[in-house]
Amino acid sequence: MTRHLACVGLLALLAAHPVGAQPHKIVFDTDFAFPPQDDAMTLLFMLNCPEVEILGITTVAGNRSVNVANADVLKVLEVVGRAEIPVYPGAAAPLVHEGTAWDRERHGGWYANDPAPAPPGGFAASKALEARSAVEFLVDVVRRHPGQVTVLALGPLTNLALAMRLDRDFARSVRQIVIMGGALASLPDGGGNHTPNAEFNFYVDPEAARIVLRSGAPIVLSPLNISRQARFTRPWYERIAAVDTPTTRLIRDRLGPRVAQWGDRGPLMYDQVAAAYLVDPTLMKTIAWYVDVDANPGPNYGVSVGAPDLWPGAEGAKKVTVQTELDFDRFIRLYVERVTRPPRTSPPPTRP
Ligand SMILES: [Ca+2]
């Protein structure tokens, strides 16, 4: 039975990515922070996936300030030996949302603009940020490879909204945008995780989320409804910790001291689920729905709303692909298998 399931999984993966297929060119757009934060745990996965070629990493204020995102991503790339991947500094604040004392006290790194403390082990010894900004890089790389670049957007959508404002053709030229964001109350498990109905990334920059969702770009949305089906638990951590590579050592150092407190409720794998779609889209069921974001000040600021048909007030909303149901067993096996692989020895990607 197990062997049968493994064969079915392998066949599904081969169908999704035939041997010899060109890797997805991606830009990794992130409100990064050191592991155990999920953006970092996602980057460690993607770096070991031959199905994707990371052309660049763009940072944005979100979980923490953009200063922290910059320092931490440079350090992680050095630790795992992938310093050839360029990092472009992005938006230090949302488009409009200024934040309040409430925000500062509740996961308000995006608002606080704190300087970066030394990441564990110190700052990156030699790797530096690129001179160009994230927004300039996004516009340029999509122009250079029209119809080929996928943006994996794992934080507030500020950089993408600015790229769309800088270049009117951006939404038509990008291959697709895969977004971790939003929560849809009309589907199961659709409450918010920051305000009662708003998901954190969309709450931080609702105006940007609205611009991107209404842009007409091909979008795949990974909302909280599906994140809540993916919990990282101790047995899966232990499989990773049992292997010795620079990547697993980093995970062991950073997660090991916390695992004892998890019980059977480890952290949700928000960004990892969104990213896994690019490696094997058969891991999840999807639906095509209209999704819009409330950017009006008030109790629904940053709340996303979705439905199969348009409704009054949402005129201008576009249909996007929404991830709904995850095959968790196949997902977590893929995640652990990739994270525990030996470091990639393929030549570094061509610089865009
Ligand atoms: Ca994130």
The Cα–Cα gap between 197 and 182 comes to 9
- The DSSP bridge pattern shows strands 219-222 and 318-326 to be parallel
Residue-wise pLDDT for 26-70, tens only, equals 999 999 999 999 999 999 999 999 999 999 999 999 999 999 999
Q: Ligand 1 center to residue 163 CA distance, Å?
A: 19
Nearby residues for ligand 1 (ion, Cβ within 5 Å): 31, 39, 154-155, 271
- pLDDT, tens digit, 9 for 90 and up, residues 294-352: 999 999 999 999 999 999 999 999 999 999 999 999 999 999 999 999 977 544 555 55
What does 79-109 look like in DSSP terms, one character per residue? HTT-TTS-EE---SS-SS----HHHHHTT-H
245 CB neighbour count, 10 Å cutoff:
17
Residue ranges of E strands in 33-94: 52-59, 87-88
C-alpha 60 – ligand 1 centre gap (Å): 9
Question: H or E stretch including 141?
Answer: helix 134-144
Element (H, E) at 67: helix 66-79
Specify whether the backbone of 99 is left (phi greater than 0), alpha (psi in -120 to 50) or beta: left
Cα of 24 vs centre of ligand 1, distance in Å, is: 20
CA of 1 to the centre of ligand 1 (A): 36
Residue 313, CB-side half-sphere exposure with 13 Å CA sphere: 9
Can you tell me the distance from the alpha carbon of 191 to that of 82, in angstroms, rounded to the nearest whole number?
37
4 C-alpha to ligand 1 centroid (Å): 35
Place of tokens 């999984």: 9
> Is residue 1's pLDDT more than 80?
no
Model confidence at 18: pLDDT above 80: no
* Cα 179 to ligand 1 centre (Å): 10
* Calpha distance 337→77 (Å, rounded): 20
